[in-house]
Amino acid sequence: MDNSTRMLLEALPIIARITGGYATLTDRCGVRIKTVDSEGEEIAELKGLVFDLARQASESGTLTAGPSQIVESAEAWSLPIGDYVLSASNLERVLRDDQLQESLKQALPFIARVAGGEAVIFDAEGQRLASYDPTGEENKFIGKVSVAAREAMQTQRPVIGQSMSDIGAVAVRIPITKRFGFGFNNLHGVQRQQKLIEEFKKFQYARYSFSDIVGSSEAIKKVSNMASYVSKGVSSVLITGETGTGKELFAQSIHNASDRASKPFVAINCGAIPATIIESYLFGYDEGAFTGAKKSGNPGAFEQADGGTIFLDELGETDFTLQSKLLRVLQEREVTRIGGSKPIQVDVRVIASTNRDLLDMVRNGKFREDLYYRLNVVQIKVPPLRDRLDDIPDFIRVFVNRYNKLLGKFVMGVSGECRKRFQLHNWPGNVRELQNCIEYAMNVISINENCIEIEHLPQYLQAGHGGAGAKQTILSLAEAVRATERDCVLRALKASGGSRQETARLLGISTTTLWRKMVEMGLESS
């Protein structure tokens, strides 16, 4: 064997590794002398077989490219060098890509379920090769071309944007190799969310009236009297106050005391509904507004509240674009559905609420001044609990009675020491925080006890945090709720001797929910 032949044979493993396939040395007739894989291992069973592409290259005397003889979708090249032909292919890389594509295809149903939408594999042109929905069913849209998917493959960069399937759905397209890519959207998650919203709207009504407002302090009586007085009018009302003060309670009471009491009361939490779908929720949409839209279209909240009251809760969370559209509805008293062109007249009274300083937001350019004054015809400011401490005994009585019925307890009230602690606490979470504290105490108090003591309160209240002189350490409502839940779980774990099944039974939740909460609270090893 001469040096040139030896060098060619020694080069085969390097060439195979770099090209990601087999490297072969043949004679002029294309008969394989030696073939190695990307690991440098010889493929002995191929020795002596004819490689047609190598034979063609030898006959033409030029570098020749074509399909691999072993894997049809792989590519190969052959270069005649003297008495030999050097060849290589990318078949191992193609096989790995095929295996990756098949593994990804098998995972599509699970990805779709987790993502809450469709999961797809597409080729270099953006054409769907496989598609599954969250139920594990394969979709019928195989072969459909996505422009966004094609863009992802051409640029070899992820493309993220709004799905064309439905308003509010987001789709992600990711190139995996140059031959195929992967994508998913949250279409079904958004549709379920919209369905839940629609179902929720069916059952919206105003349950509360002014007789349900608890307390006899001067602060609350003054606000209640004013709200009762303006309820007979038609002007817009802006209810302000901190979180947990009972703003929706006042909104419902105003509606039920008005001449519109027999008409719809539709409440929209502007801070809870995703910005991507709130517009269609408020103003509705026409047939054909987007793929998946109902054939008959869908009325929005303003249309559903026609003749009655619409309550825009947490209005300060809306963006500028939506504020402009709300202003138009309030000025023109008409709405135009998404995808529609015909204005629809509506007769609604608007009550809005916020826990933010809208005037300060106006000064900082975060809230439209014209919308602020359009809504702020009558302003009702609900006082925080710390400004109506005299009402705490009334709330205690109401909440204790409520949870006695729900939990089958026979608690008479709270101890004098508890009352003092309540009076000293700053109540950052207001009435809602007080209710949570009573509910917590009612859960942990023994069936044989009839009076709530300090030891039954959440830990942060037992420690005396949040008093009038400790405003720097005031817990937020979320922190207070988390602390209350953690203490409740710890007490239940102690009472059950560490048994998660018994703990879940005591707390009235499933073991799965208990486990999730324990993980969130850092108690999973308890």
The answer to whether residues 228 and 367 belong to one domain is yes
185 lies in which domain range?
Answer: 94-191
Residue 141 lies in a domain: yes
Percent of the chain's residues with pLDDT above 90? 50
The answer to whether residues 353 and 433 belong to one domain is no
- Choice among 33-47, 258-272, 334-348, 496-510 with the minimum mean pLDDT: 496-510
The number of distinct structural domains making up the chain is 4
Q: Which of 248, 273, 268 lies closest to 431, judged by CA? A: 248
Average pLDDT over residues 435-452: 91
Residue 26 lies in a domain: yes
Residue 198 lies in a domain: no
Average pLDDT over residues 483-497: 76
Evaluate if residue 465 carries a pLDDT over 70: no
Report how far apart the first and last C-alpha atoms of the chain are (Å, whole number): 73
DSSP 60-121: HTS-EEEE-SS-TTSEEEEEEETTEEEEEE-HHHHHHHHHHHHHHHHHHHHHHHHHTS-EEE
The answer to whether residues 343 and 243 belong to one domain is yes
Task: Round the average pLDDT of the chain to a whole number and report it.
Answer: 85
Residue that is last in its domain, among 61, 89, 117: 89
Evaluate if residue 472 carries a pLDDT over 50: no
Residue that is last in its domain, among 339, 360, 383: 383
Average pLDDT over residues 177-188: 86
Residue 526 lies in a domain: no
Q: Identity (one letter) of the amino acid at 386? A: R
Q: Report the alpha-carbon distance of residue 151 to residue 174 in Å, rounded.
A: 10
List C-alpha distances in Å: 525 to 490, 493, 498, 519: 12, 12, 10, 9
Q: Please tell me the predicted confidence (pLDDT) of residue 290.
A: 52
Residue 197 lies in a domain: no
377 phi and psi, to 5 degrees? -70, -50
Q: Please tell me the predicted confidence (pLDDT) of residue 135.
A: 79
Report the predicted TM-score, pTM, of the whole model to 2 decimal places: 0.55
- pLDDT tens string 379-400: 999 999 999 999 999 999 999 9
Evaluate if residue 350 carries a pLDDT over 90: yes
Evaluate if residue 469 carries a pLDDT over 60: no
| Domain CATH for 240 | 3.40.50.300
Q: Please tell me the predicted confidence (pLDDT) of residue 269.
A: 84
- Ramachandran sector of residue 61 (left: φ over 0; alpha: ψ -120 to 50; beta: rest): left
The answer to whether residues 84 and 178 belong to one domain is no
The answer to whether residues 239 and 353 belong to one domain is yes
Q: Go through 285-297 and write b for each residue having 16 or more CB atoms within 10 A of its CB, e for each that does not.
A: bbeebbeebeeeb
Q: Identity (one letter) of the amino acid at 21? A: G
List C-alpha distances in Å: 27 to 4, 6, 82, 220, 322: 14, 14, 9, 100, 75
Evaluate if residue 321 carries a pLDDT over 90: no
| Domain CATH for 167 | 3.30.450.20
Q: Please tell me the predicted confidence (pLDDT) of residue 112.
A: 85
- pLDDT tens string 131-142: 888 877 887 668
Q: To which H or E segment does residue 268 belong? A: strand 265-269
The answer to whether residues 316 and 229 belong to one domain is yes
- pLDDT tens string 4-44: 889 999 999 999 999 999 999 999 999 999 999 999 999 99
The answer to whether residues 39 and 149 belong to one domain is no
- pLDDT tens string 192-233: 666 655 544 544 668 889 999 999 999 999 999 999 999 999
Residue that is last in its domain, among 69, 89, 109: 89
* Position 486 confidence tier, pLDDT thresholds 50, 70, 90: confident
Q: Please tell me the predicted confidence (pLDDT) of residue 464.
A: 61
305-310-311 Cα angle (round to 5): 155
The answer to whether residues 403 and 313 belong to one domain is no
The answer to whether residues 169 and 213 belong to one domain is no
Neighbouring CB atoms inside 10 A of 84's CB total 19
Q: Please tell me the predicted confidence (pLDDT) of residue 478.
A: 66
Strands (E) located in 447-521: 451-452
Tokens of 200: 């929720």
The answer to whether residues 354 and 473 belong to one domain is no
| Domain CATH for 47 | 3.30.450
Q: Please tell me the predicted confidence (pLDDT) of residue 138.
A: 83
Q: Which residues contact 334 (CB under 8 A, 6 or more apart)?
A: 343, 344, 345, 346
Residue 136 lies in a domain: yes
Evaluate if residue 429 carries a pLDDT over 90: no
Evaluate if residue 468 carries a pLDDT over 50: no
Q: Please tell me the predicted confidence (pLDDT) of residue 222.
A: 95
Residue 142 lies in a domain: yes
The answer to whether residues 143 and 227 belong to one domain is no
Are 253 and 227 a contacting pair, CB within 8 Å?
yes
- pLDDT tens string 123-167: 999 998 998 888 778 876 688 888 889 999 999 999 987 665 555
Which residues are registered as beta bridge partners of 162?
Answer: 170
30 phi and psi, to 5 degrees? 85, 10
| Domain CATH for 435 | 1.10.8.60
Residue 196 lies in a domain: no
The answer to whether residues 232 and 352 belong to one domain is yes
